[in-house]
Structure 1
Amino acid sequence: MMRFVCRAAALRRPVLVIAMVLAFGVMKLPTERALFVQHRQLHFRDVEFNLDLREKIGQLGFIAALSGFRSIVADALYIQAHVAWERTEWGRVLLLFRQITTLQPRAILFWDMAAWHMAWNASVAAMNDQTQPRLALRVKAQREYFALGKDFLERGIKNNPEKPQLYDALARLYKEKYEDHASAFEFYAKAAVLPGAWSYEKRFAAYELSYCEGREREAYERLRQLYDAGKNERLPTLITRLKFLEQKLNIPNEQRIPENAH
C-alpha cells in the first residue's frame, strides 16, 4: 500500500510541474504580446543570432554579441573599417560594414557611412583604377559600388523608417550618382514629412521635381508655395528654377515673380 502511494505521488510531481509551466506560459502571453506590439511600433528588428550572423562576424564576435556586447563589437569593427578605408581596401570595408550594420541595425551613422564609402569613395576609386585599362569595366565596377551604397541605405530605411537622415542620403545618391531626379524628389519628399527633418528637404524635393519631364506644373506650384512662404526660402536656385518654369509653362506676366526677385 505504501509503495502504491509513493508511486502515485511520484507520478503527480511531473504532472504538477507541467501544469505550473503551462500556467506560467499562459500568464506570460499578455506581456510578450505587449512587447511584440511595442517593438513593431518602434520598428525594432532584433539581431538574429544564427549561423549566418556567426559567419559574418566571426566566432569571437559572435560570442561577444551573445553576451550582450553588440555595441562594443560594432564599434571595434567600425574602427577596423576606418583603417581599411585609409588603406583603400574596399572589399574589407564592405565586409566590415555588413557586419556592423547586422549588429547595430538601429544606428543611423553606420548605414550612412557604409553607403558613403561604397557609393562615393569606392566608386571613385574604381573609376580611377589605373590597373584596369578598359573603361567599360571601370564603369561597371563604379555602378556596382553605386548599387552597394543604395542597398545599404534601403536596408537602413527598412530598419529605421521613422528617421529622415537615410531618406535624405538616398535622395542625394539618386541625384548625384544616378541623375534620377524623380527618385531624388521622392525621397527628399519622404524625408521632409518626418519628425526631425532638415528645413531644406521640401525645397530640395521641389528642385528635383522641376527637372522631371511632364511634372512641371506640380513643381511650379511647389516652388511658388515656397517662394510665397517668405524671404528665407527665396534662395538663388529656387528663384532660377521658378523663373525657368514660369517661362516653360507660359505663366501670365502678372502672376510671375518680379524680375529682380530676391
Structure 2
Amino acid sequence: MIRLLVALAILVAVGGIKLPIEHDLKRLHRQEHFRGVEFNLDLREKLGQLGFVAALSGFRAIVADALFIQAHVAWERTEWGRILLLFRHITMLQPRVLLFWDTAAWHMAWNASVAAMNDRTQPRLALRVKAQREYFALGKDFLERGIKNNPDRPQLYEALARLYKEKYKDHQRASEFYAKAAVVPDAATFDRRFSAYELSYCEGREREAYERLRSLYDEG
C-alpha cells in the first residue's frame, strides 16, 4: 500500500513533465495515423526521442510501477493502444523486470489478439485476421526484446515458446525456445521435456523426440 501511495504521489509530482510528453504522444499518434493501436514495431525508437526516460531517470522504478497501474486500468477498459504505449514506456524504464515484458506480451498476443478477432465492428474476416496477427507480432516483439535485456533468465524463453506453440502453431520454434530456456541457470525441470514434446509434433523428427524423452526417463 505504501509503495502504491508513493507511486501515485510521484505521478502527481511529475505531472508538469508528463503534460508535454503526452502532447507529443498525441501528435505522434496523428502522424502515424494511430487508430486504436499502432502496429509499427519501430515506434519505440520514436518514443525514445521524447526524452521520457531522461526526464524521470531518478524515479525509474516508482514511475514504472505507476504506469503499470495505469496499464491495468487500460486493460479493464480494453484500450489496447494505450496498453501498448504504456508498456513500451514501462519496459524502457525497467528492462530487467521480467513481469513487465511478460505481461506486455500477454496483453498483446493473447488479450488484444482475441479482441481483434472478435471485433464486431469489423465485418471483414481478412482484416480481423490481419489485426490478430499484428498483435501476435507485437507480443513476440516484447518477448524478444525482453530476452535481449535478460538473456540469463529462463522465463521469457518459456513465454516465447508458448507463444510459438499456441499462437503460431510453430512447434519447431517452440521446441527451440524451450531448449534455450533449459540451459539457462535456474531453468525449470520441465523445459527439456517440453522441448521434446514440441519436437514430436514436427514431421520427420518424431524419432529424435522419442530419443530425447527416453533419455530423460532414463535419467530419472
Is the pair's TM-score, using the shorter chain for normalization, greater than 0.5?
Answer: yes
Stretch deviating more after TM superposition (181-190 or 211-220)? 211-220
Q: Distance in 2 between matches of 1:77 and 1:140?
A: 29
Indicate conservation of the 8 Å contact 1:54/1:62, yes or no: no
Contact map agreement 1:162 1:194 (CA 8 A) in 2: yes
- Partner Cα distance (2:54, 2:114) in 1: 33
Q: Residue 213 of structure 1 corresponds to which residue in structure 2?
A: 203
Q: Which residue of 2 aligns with 1:55?
A: 50
Matched, 1:141 2:136: no
Give per-residue Cα distances to partners, 1:162-216, cap 9 Å, x unaligned: 1000000000000000000000000000001111111111110000011111222
CA distance in 2, matches of 1:174, 1:206: 15
Task: Give the structure 1 partner of residue 184 of structure 2.
Answer: 194
Which has more radius of gyration? Answer: 1
Aligned length: 176
- Name stretches of at least 5 consecutive residues in structure 1 with no aligned partner: 1-49, 231-262
Asked if residue 79 in structure 1 is aligned to residue 69 in structure 2, the reply is yes
Greater relative contact order: 1 or 2 (C-alpha under 8 angstroms, separation 6 or more)?
A: 2
SS at match of 1:123: helix
**Aligned-partner Cα distance in 1 for 2:201–2:219:** 22
Over residues 47-76 of structure 1, what are the superposed CA-to-partner deviations in whole Å (9 max), with x where a residue is unaligned? xxx98535274xxx75222xx111111111
Mapped to 1, the partners of 2:50 and 2:127 lie a distance apart of 30
Matched-pair contact (CA < 8 Å) for 1:164–1:196: yes
Query: In structure 2, do the counterparts of structure 1 residues 52 and 127 end up closer, same or farther at CA, with 3 Å as the change threshold?
Result: closer
SS of the residue corresponding to residue 178 of structure 1 reads coil
Q: Which residue of 199, 206, 216 maps to 1:226? A: 216
Distance 2:142 2:188 in 1: 21
SS at match of 1:69: helix
CA RMSD of aligned residues (A): 1.6
- Letter matched to residue 152 of structure 2: E
Q: CA deviation at 1:218?
A: 1.4
- Aligned residue type for 2:151: P
Distance in 2 (CA, whole Å) between partners of 1:99 and 1:79 is 13
Aligned residue in 1 for 2:164 = 174
Residue identity (%): 78
> C-alpha distance in 2, partners of 1:136/1:71?
41
Whole-angstrom CA distance in 2 between matches of 1:219 and 1:140:
33
- Residue 175 of structure 2 is aligned to residue 185 of structure 1: yes
Q: Do the aligned partners of residues 56 and 109 (structure 1) sit closer, same or farther apart at CA in structure 2, a change above 3 Å counting?
A: farther
Question: Using the alignment, how far apart are the partners of 1:56 and 1:150 within structure 2?
Answer: 26
Aligned partners of 1:142 and 1:51: how far apart in 2?
A: 24
- Give 1:108 deviation, angstroms: 0.7
- Is 2:79 the counterpart of 1:89? yes
1:64 alignment counterpart: 56
Gaps of 5+ in 2: 1-44
Name the SS of the counterpart of 2:56 in structure 1. Answer: helix
Question: Per the alignment, in what secondary structure is the counterpart of residue 55 of structure 1?
Answer: coil
| Map of 1:157 onto structure 2 | 147
CA contact (8 A) 1:56 1:99 kept: no
